[in-house]
Amino acid sequence: MNDWSETEASVREALGSTDDAVVNRIALGDKRGLLFYFSSLAATEQVAAKLTQPLNERLSNGNAFESLESFRSACLGGLPHRYASDIGQAVEFTLQGDAAVVAEGESSILVVQIGGVPTRAIGEPKVQTSIFGPKEGFVESLDINISLVRRRIRNANLRFRSIRLGGGNRAKLSLAYMEGKAEEESLRELLQRVERIHSESTFDTNQLMQQLYGKKKSKLFPVMLNIERPDAAAHYILEGKIALLEDGSPYAVVAPIAFDDFFHFPEDRYMFPAAAKAVLALRYIAFIIALLLPGVYIGLANYNVEILPISLMMAIAGQRTDAPFPSVIELLLVELIFELIWEATTRMPRAVGGALTIVGALVIGQAAVEAGIITNIIIIVVAMRAVTGYVIPYDEMVFLARFLRVAFVLAAAVFGLYGVFLGIAALICYVTNLRSFHDKPYFQSGG
């Protein structure tokens, strides 16, 4: 870089006119230099401690500045560093939280890892909570998340491979896997899918999963798992699966995933085996109830009422006498109200979210029954379905049950219980032929 004025102008142009871009002129002995970084990504005090102070101390001791490499080896020790071949590449590195030094007459640019910007402290998981086991959850810092996984897998075969997404965002990712356990075919396919992503705004692993599905977004069942617990990620990695971490996201994507992985929870590994199996069976039962109960009720009440005991049949018939709507419309109406309450509770501030749940569940429901708009049996069916839905540990399967439940209700409204059984048969055929990742059977045991 011989034309120094042109070099300085190129640096300022590449950084742009933004308030958090810092460009300082520095003296490197008898040479001129530039130090540039983004103060929003690299803490200024860390830049001073790691770069400017060692440089000033070396020059004040009478040591001549020979080259960037001699300065780095003498003063920076084991600090992570790299060299950029041009200004564009150096600016890209500074967007990762590094600081760059340009020296007059040198063709390479020294880039030193700085960081130091405050991030959210490690806390308990907000969604995937548990009674037993560690209480740490992932945060939005990729380096901290890698450390959380490494602390649980102190094995030299644990590998982290950095990748950058294409597109304007250039999000930083890290693939975590055990060398020798993770299948090379799965790793290769995941890398190929990541390399095909070109997105302007991929800020979270939920968005990343949608991009990874690619043309296979039409799959009904989720084939990747989103987790926020480092201990769960460590267990999956030790089983030979691959975890994908993204800078800025407090979750990790795990692949390949089988159907029963969505019913195992990290807490199960800290329980007695018999208790864990009992809880696992309970989750499967809850999923079946959440999926089929509304449809089975419609089939029994509209078509196959003779299957019910006489006392229950008379109770349902008595309630239906003055009902203003058909049972299907009534059920779908209550389901709609419940979904609205659920979404409102999720979006409301925590201080009023609980009160909204009580008002929606008790006041509105009781008033609707007393007004004769809906029947008690419908409230019971929807409440049972709602309670069992919360037993399922992962949201991906909960949302799937919400979608399929409506399909079973409509099938039962047209064909009765035969529609429910046909739907079950079609669903089983679909799942048994589904491939989760690299042609792995989706219905195999996930461990």
* pLDDT tens-place string over residues 77-123: 777 888 888 888 898 888 888 889 988 888 888 888 887 777 788 88
| 113 vs 446, more confident | 113
pLDDT of residue 360: 62
**Confidence band, pLDDT 50/70/90 cuts, at residue 419:** very high
Residue 170 has pLDDT above 60, yes or no: yes
Query: Which of 89-103, 263-277, 354-368 is predicted least confidently?
Result: 354-368
Residue 62 has pLDDT above 70, yes or no: no
CA dihedral sign, ordered 420, 423, 429, 432: negative
Query: Which of 90-94, 143-147, 175-179, 214-218 is predicted least confidently?
Result: 214-218
Question: What are the phi and psi torsion angles at 26 (to 5°)?
Answer: -130, 155
Instruction: Tell me the C-alpha distance between 4 and 24, whole Å.
Output: 14
Helix then strand then coil, % of the chain, to nearest 5: 55, 15, 35
* 273-301 average pLDDT score: 91
pLDDT of residue 68: 81
**Confidence band, pLDDT 50/70/90 cuts, at residue 355:** low
Beta strands 98-103 and 158-164, pairing class: unpaired
* 155-170 average pLDDT score: 81
Helix axes 142-152, 230-238, angle to 10 degrees: 60
Query: Which of 223-227, 322-326, 352-356, 418-422 is predicted least confidently?
Result: 352-356
| 258 vs 323, more confident | 258
Percent of the chain with pLDDT over 90: 18
* 323-346 average pLDDT score: 82
Question: What are the phi and psi torsion angles at 389 (to 5°)?
Answer: -65, -30
Nearest to 98 by CA among 118, 86, 83, 85: 83
Model pTM? 0.78
Max Cα separation, the chain?
102
Burial (0-12, 13-18, 19+ Cβ within 10 Å), 381 = buried
Sheet of 98-103: strand order equals: 21-28, 31-38, 98-103, 109-113, 81-84
pLDDT of residue 422: 94
**Confidence band, pLDDT 50/70/90 cuts, at residue 447:** very low
* 242-258 average pLDDT score: 89
> DSSP letters along 211-267, please?
HHHGGGTT-SS--SEEE--HHHHHHHHHTT-EEEEETT-S-EEEES--GGGGG--GG
Helix (H) / strand (E) element for 27: namely strand 21-28
3-state secondary structure at position 26: strand
